[in-house]
Amino acid sequence: MRFCIGVTSESNEFTMTIPTEPIGSIPRPVEMLTAIEIAGDDAAPQLEAIYENAIKDTIQKFEDTGSPVVTDGEQRKYHNFWTYCVHGLPNVSPDGFKIPFSAGHTRRMHRLTAGPFRYKRSADRYLETALRHAKKPVKQAVISPSALSLMYPADDIASYSRQEFIDDLLREHETEMRRCLALGAHTVQIDFTEGRLAVKLDSSGGLLNSFIGLNNLALARFSDEERKRIGVHTCPGGDRDSTHSADVDYAELLPSLFELRAGNFYIALAIEKDPERVLKIIKKHMKPDQRIFIGVIATIDPHIETPEEVRDRVLQAAKYIPLEQLGTTDDCGYAPFCDDVSTTRETAFAKIKARVEGTQLAANILGAR
C-alpha cells in the first residue's frame, strides 16, 4: 500500500493513506513450541502440519488487525532470522561471531569451516507457503550479505579464498531475492541489524563502510524498478527485551545507511530517547527516491501503545519527512531470535493493531490540513 491523496467528487474531502508494514517475526504458538520440544528437532517431518497451521493462524491474526501488509511471522525460520539459510549445513560450526546483548546473554553466528558457500534453504520457500493463505500482500524478510559475511573466519580457509566466498555469497543472496520478487512479494526486506552493531565494534567506521559496500554490490544487481520493492531494516537488535547496540548514536549510522541503493528503509525509532534528533538526521541525509518507514512501536517494551500514542509519533515524523516518503512500522520483529516467551503472541498483535489504527488516525489529521 502506497501513500496517496485524493479528492472525492461529492464532498471535496481529502483522503490519505500512509503505508504501514510489519518487520517480520511473531512469537510462535505454545502448541508449536511444545511439539518442537517433544520432537527434539525443529526440522522434524512430523512438525509440518503444525507449522502450516501456525502460519495460517499468524496470517489470519495479522489480517484481523487491519494490517494492509502481512508476513508469515517467521514461524518456521529454522534457528533464527540470521542463520535460517545456513543452519544445518555440513560445512559450518556453531562457534562463530558473538553478538552480546545488554541483558547479559550472547547469540552466535555460524562459522564457515570449508567451501563452497551455499544456502541450505531460501526464504522464498516461506513466502510460497504464506501466499497460499494470505488475502493481503505479503512481504518477505531475508538476511543481508553483510551479516553472512561474518561467517568467514579471520584465518583464511584453505583452498577457498575470502573473495571466492564473497562471490558465492552475493550469488546466493541475489538468487534468493529474485525468487521472492518473482513469486510476488510485496516487498523484500533485507535485515541489516548488524549496521548499528558495526559502529559499536569499530568506531572508525571501517567495518560499517565495508558492510555498506558489500550490500551495495548486491543491490546493484537489481534494476531501479526492482529496488522500489526492496527495503533495508535497521535496529539496535532485539532479544529477551534487550538490545545489542542501542547505545550507538544513530548519527554514526544513518548518513551511511542512506547510501544503500534500496527504495525503502525501516528504521527503529520508538525506543530512542530523543526521536526528534534522529528525525532531523534522517531529514538531512535521506534521498528523494527513498521511502522511510519510521518505527512507532517499541517491540521490546511490554507496554501496548495506544493508537493515540502512535498517532502522535507519526505526526512528529511528518514534520521532518515529506508525506509522500513517510511510512510506519514496528521497531523490530517480536521474536527475531526465536525468543517466543519475553513478548506474548497476544501482545504482539495488540501492538500491531495499535500501529495500524494510529497510523490511520494520523493520516486523517494530515489529510484534513
Could you tell me which residues are beta bridge partners of residue 111? 93
Query: Closest Cα partner for 47 from 57, 58, 38?
Result: 38
CATH of the domain at 55: 3.20.20.210
pLDDT tens, per residue, the chain with 369 residues: 333 332 222 333 445 589 999 998 999 998 988 998 898 888 888 999 999 999 999 999 999 999 999 999 999 886 788 889 999 999 999 988 888 787 787 888 899 999 999 999 999 999 999 999 999 999 999 999 999 999 999 999 999 999 999 999 999 999 999 999 999 999 999 999 999 999 998 999 999 999 999 999 999 999 999 999 999 999 877 777 777 877 889 999 999 999 999 999 999 999 999 999 999 999 999 999 999 999 999 999 999 999 999 999 999 999 999 999 999 999 999 988 777 778 899 999 999 999 999 999 999 999 855
Strand extents, DSSP E, the chain: 4-7, 14-17, 92-93, 98-100, 106-108, 111-112, 140-143, 188-191, 230-234, 264-267, 291-297, 326-330
Mean of pLDDT over the chain: 91
Q: Which letter, b or e, does each residue of 297-315 get, where b requires 16 or more Cβ atoms within 10 Å of its Cβ?
A: bbbbeeebbebebbbbbbe
Encoded amino acid at 9, one letter: S
Please tell me the predicted confidence (pLDDT) of residue 92.
96
Number of domains in the chain: 1
pTM exceeds 0.95, yes or no: no
With H, G, I as helix, E, B as strand and everything else as coil, classify residue 52: helix
Q: Which domain holds residue 332?
A: 4-367
200 Cβ contact list (under 8 Å, min separation 6): 244, 245, 247, 248
270/268 Cα distance (integer angstroms): 6
* Single-letter amino acid, residue 20: T
Q: What is the pLDDT of residues 107-155, one digit of tens each?
A: 888 999 999 999 999 999 999 999 999 999 999 999 999 999 999 999 9
Q: What pLDDT is attached to residue 12?
A: 37
DSSP state of 42: T
Q: What is the pLDDT of residue 77?
A: 84
Does the CA dihedral 21-27-28-31 come out positive or negative? negative
